[in-house]
Amino acid sequence: MELNIDLEKEKKEILASYRALLRVAKYSKSSEDKKQIRKAFDVALEAHKDMRRKSGEPYIYHPIAVARIVAEEIGLGTTAIIAALLHDTVEDTDITLSDVEHLFGKKVCQIIDGLTKISDIFDHTASIQAENFKKMLLTLSDDVRVILIKLADRLHNMRTLESMRRDKQLKIASETQYMYAPLAHRLGLYSIKSELEDLALKYTEPEQYEEIVQKLKKGQAVRTRFINRFKLPIVRSLDREGFKYSIKSRPKSISSIWNKIYKKNIPFEEIYDLFAIRIILDTPPEKEKADCWKVYSIVTDFYQPNPDRIRDWISTPKANGYESLHTTVMSPTGKWVEVQIRTERMDEIAEMGYAAHWKYKDKQEGESKLDVWLARIREMLETNNAAAIDFIDDFKLNLFSDEIFVFTPNGDLKTLPSGATALDFAFEIHSQVGQSCIGAKVNQRLVPLSHSLKSGDQIEIITSKKQRPKEDWLNYVVTAKAKSKIKSALKEEQKKIAGLGKEMVQRRFKNIGAEFNSKNVSVLERFYGYKAATDLYHDIAKGKISLKKFKDFVIDSGEISFPKEEEEIIQNTDPGPKSSSPIPKDTLIIGEDEMDVPYKLAQCCNPIPGDDVFAFVTINDGIKIHRNKCPNAVQLRSNFAYRVIKATWQSQKEKEFVAEVIFKGIDDLGLVHNITQTISADLNVNMKAISFESNDGVFDGRVSVYVYDTDHLNNLMSKLRNVEGVLTVSRGEAYSKDA
């Protein structure tokens, strides 16, 4: 079917979009800037002229939209706008990097090259993905604009995700949650980070997302009246004191509300910080700190502050440059309200992250926090030889973490993630100090390596030349740097020990007249139940495996084989691959071709008919079915998208599935009887297991039941909610790793 497209109308709309871009490009006002942007627009328009997006609109709308985000929401200048307009040309059109360099110079060419290298960061295989991720970070440490444009590109893709297929939506939304939102957070782009998380939630949890949106809309008028009453006395005082200021109210992001409702089990009505009041001062740099504390004093004259909820990020800014003074105060109606106090400079940095930092960088002394963070990334990349996914998980550890501020014996300030230990601090000083650390003194008191640090602690590290990193150290550290250094050191140590074990095997083979070759080593691996020779050699050297049984092997022309009775035992007892659950038949159609193939149900989320599910091709265990809400779904779709297959249930009532139901309530005589009566007698549902725990008049219960599908389960949960004394009923999740 051909679309009736009004080309003249489209041309006018494209030109209008371009003019709107120029209007918001506040750092590109010179005639030379405008000339260069126009040239980039013309090149992109010509290069993409025959291309359309999934929605049917001309492709050029996408680069213009990305350039607009870069200019308006991140606050970058001409070079970044040009790179954003051209960001897809080298990959998708006939234009080459040398063309870009010839037309726009070396810097634009470098940024486009960086964007092209990381364009398929989450595609193909896990190892390629990790390599591309490393490339992205290396490019990021050369020019941070590469990742800022990439984030703008992802934000526009998320804003226009409606036209994609459901499986594509889930894949892109999962990637966004997994990597892009944390990167936006780390670079200080809070509004972009929140929007990315909200849009990802819109596609991964559409029903819950819509429910929260409707509840927020419903309460909007009440909240507006409340805010106006709350800020009235503050406004009068600020006017009397002669402050120049503005006051905004910021609603809490939908994803953070969802986290509280579904992860912390707090009802929507009980979330007290649905919004925050932000007071933004227009004040000179030398008076910023004093004026912010004066405003804090005015706010707390009217409203009682919560002493546990004050955050001073003006004296010690976050590692990504965020500065603000936060307090939570009690309103006259008994509601807690978060108040944020900052200056216009601080607000610009909070909204636009490091893009705004560059504007103020010349006025700052010493090394920028961004430079320090990028230097850490580079160090991690140069020393990290871990598996692809390990590297990404370790890196992610420090993207979202809150921070503490601690001191060296000389009084130097160090920033660490919340929960960091004395051992993390040792590795922060230097990797050699970490590897030889035997203990620490915190505030002059001797503490173990696993001691958790608090803001304000002063730490002295005690070392020994004889110390070597140990396996359990990985349980003591939270920073990516420490984890990566410990893993590298352990691997080196393991290689040395494995080398000794290999020599022991070689000598024993020689003694019994066997050849030392891969075939004989494979027999040995199978005999002792190892998948890799290195692990086998390591355990032989450590004395975990005895070589005394070598004399029982059958040797024929230098080749070894199992003793006959051992072979029979292995054949009779080998259970084969472990199944996560029985293989049901005729319950799912898998893939685009609607195949009927064997599969297993993943134990990490226990899907049942009616659940929104996907199929995942494992390496050793066939196809496993996961719920889209599985705790591992985001990671699986992000890291292994090429192994995810569409799956949908057929309607069937022949097979029962195990589902877990969790309930809480007020402990009462006969309550257990009423619950079991409802389940087994009233609904004829069979129970697999049931447990109750009572504590100070409140009970927690779990029951595993056999159900046919989600309708059957929802009916049961609805009946349980009507049992007197039961307050909440929810479906259980098993948070074990299962891929």
Residue 91 among the catalytic residues = yes
CB of 444 closer than 8 Å to CB of 409: no
Could you tell me which residues are beta bridge partners of residue 404? 416
Candidate list 10, 57, 92, 525, residue with the active-site label: 92
At residue 252, what is the residue type? K
Q: By three-state DSSP, how is residue 39 classified? A: helix
The Cβ-side half-sphere exposure at 42, using a 13 Å CA radius, reads 8
- Residue 515 CA to residue 463 CA, distance in Å, equals 46
At residue 695, what is the residue type? N
- DSSP-assigned letter for residue 225: H
Radius of gyration, CA atoms only, the chain:
30
Copy the structure tokens of residue 439. Answer: 């203990």
Candidate list 91, 472, 503, 711, residue with the active-site label: 91
At residue 366, what is the residue type? G
Phi-psi region of 444 (alpha: psi -120 to 50; beta: other; left: phi over 0): left
CB of 505 closer than 8 Å to CB of 537: yes
CB of 247 closer than 8 Å to CB of 278: yes
Alpha helices in 627-690 (DSSP H): 633-639, 671-676
Could you tell me which residues are beta bridge partners of residue 250? 276
What is the four-CA torsion angle of 384, 386, 392, 396, rounded to 10 degrees?
-70
Phi-psi region of 699 (alpha: psi -120 to 50; beta: other; left: phi over 0): beta
- Residue 353 CA to residue 75 CA, distance in Å, equals 9
- Residue 366 CA to residue 375 CA, distance in Å, equals 15
CB of 325 closer than 8 Å to CB of 341: yes
**How big is the chain, counted in residues?**
739
Instruction: Give the residue numbers annotated as catalytic, written as ranges.
Output: 91-92
